[in-house]
Structure 1
Amino acid sequence: MLDLLYDRRSIRKYSPAAIEKDKIQNLVKAALLAPSGRGIQPQRFIIVEDHDLLQKLSLAREHGSAFLSGAPLCIVVLADSSLTDVWTEDASIAAIIIQLAAKSMGLGSCWVQVRNRNQSEGKTTEEYIQEVLNIPQGLKVECMIGLGYPAEQKLRRTEQDLQYQNIFVNQYGTEFLNKY
């Protein structure tokens, strides 16, 4: 698992190759296996592979979503906020599980933040996506994940990239490296 975490990087450039159906099915299984608070499973997912819809989704944010126009697949991660007050945490957990599963299958991915972002001056990113994908009002959009075969290489993280200064033992201020 650590090898997967060292290797996983945000990939925003994809080859035009389609993702095979079995890999899409495995991504869906990974999403559905994601845990949630009290097992409520408020997460919902929309698999987008239609090029015209991907083009529209690439316009969902003022900055940060344009790369979706070149992605062969996007998974929109939603949650039913009426079921639990921790819907955003549950959706976030599912999103990272999707990204790790994608990496394990040789796919690249990148998270597009939706919550608390704007599409334009008068419309939130969430409102825009709800319109484009006909999402019912009660469902909240956490993020979109662009997926595809990488057309860019990024360096693997190293031990030197780990910020141990952010880890404490028993209380804030007791540095991890002084104990371990």
Structure 2
Amino acid sequence: MLELIQKRRSCRNFTDKKLTHDQTEQLLKSALWSPTSKNNRPWEFVVVEKTETLDALSQCKPHGAAFLSGAPLGIVVLGDPAKSDVWVEDCSIAAIMMQMTAESMGLGSTWIQVRLRLDEEGNMAGENVKKIIHAPDELEVLGIMAFGHKAKEREPYTEHVLLWDRIHFEKF
């Protein structure tokens, strides 16, 4: 598992090759099996493969989403605050589980932060996303996960990046 964590790096450049149905299903299974507080499962996922929808989502905020238009797959991660007060954490766990599953299959992924981000006019990026995918008002958008075949492989993390000075035992 540590080797997989070490290898997983954000990927913003994908090839044109589409994911297979089985690959997409494995990503979704990892999200649906992810742990949640009190097993509330407050998440919802919207799978996006259509180029025009990915292009629209890539414009939801001014920075950090443009590359989504070049990804073959996006998965919007939403949460229901009425189901759980820790929906952000539950949805985040599901998102990283999908990213680790993608890495285990040799696929690339990147987390596009949407929650608490604004568009160029000062509107919440999550509201833009909900309009594009027709999500219910009561749901909140955590982010969009971009997936695809890596256009290039990045070097894995090394021991040199470990911030051991941030580890504290018993007391800070």
TM-score (normalised: structure 1) = 0.94
Alpha-carbon offset, residue 155 of structure 1: 1.1
Structure 2 equivalent of residue 7 of structure 1: 7
Q: Percent identity?
A: 41
Structure 1 equivalent of residue 123 of structure 2: 123
SS in 2 for 1:118: coil
Partner in structure 2 of residue 156 of structure 1: 156
Write out aligned runs for 1:10-159 (5 A).
10-159=10-159
- Runs of 4+ residues deviating >6 angstroms: none
**Residue 120 of structure 1: how far off its partner (Å):** 2.3
Deviations 1:107-128 (A, max 9, x none): 1000000111012224211010
Report Cα offsets for 1:85-144 as digits up to 9, x if no partner.
101000001000010001001110000001110122242110100100000001110010
**What 5-or-longer segments of structure 2 have no aligned partner?**
none
RMSD: 0.7
2:46 and 2:104 map into 1 onto residues whose CA distance is 21
Deviations 1:1-43 (A, max 9, x none): 0000000000000000000110111111001001100000001
Corresponding residue SS for 1:112? strand
How far apart, in 2, do the equivalents of 1:27 and 1:122 lie? 33
TM-score by length of 2: 0.98
Larger radius of gyration: 1
Q: Which runs of 5+ in 1 are unaligned?
A: 173-180
Count how many residue pairs are aligned between Structure 1 and Structure 2.
Answer: 172
The SS at the match of 1:152 is: coil
For 2:40 and 2:131, the matched residues in 1 are separated by: 26
Residues in 2 aligned to 1:98 and 1:153: alpha-carbon distance in whole angstroms: 19
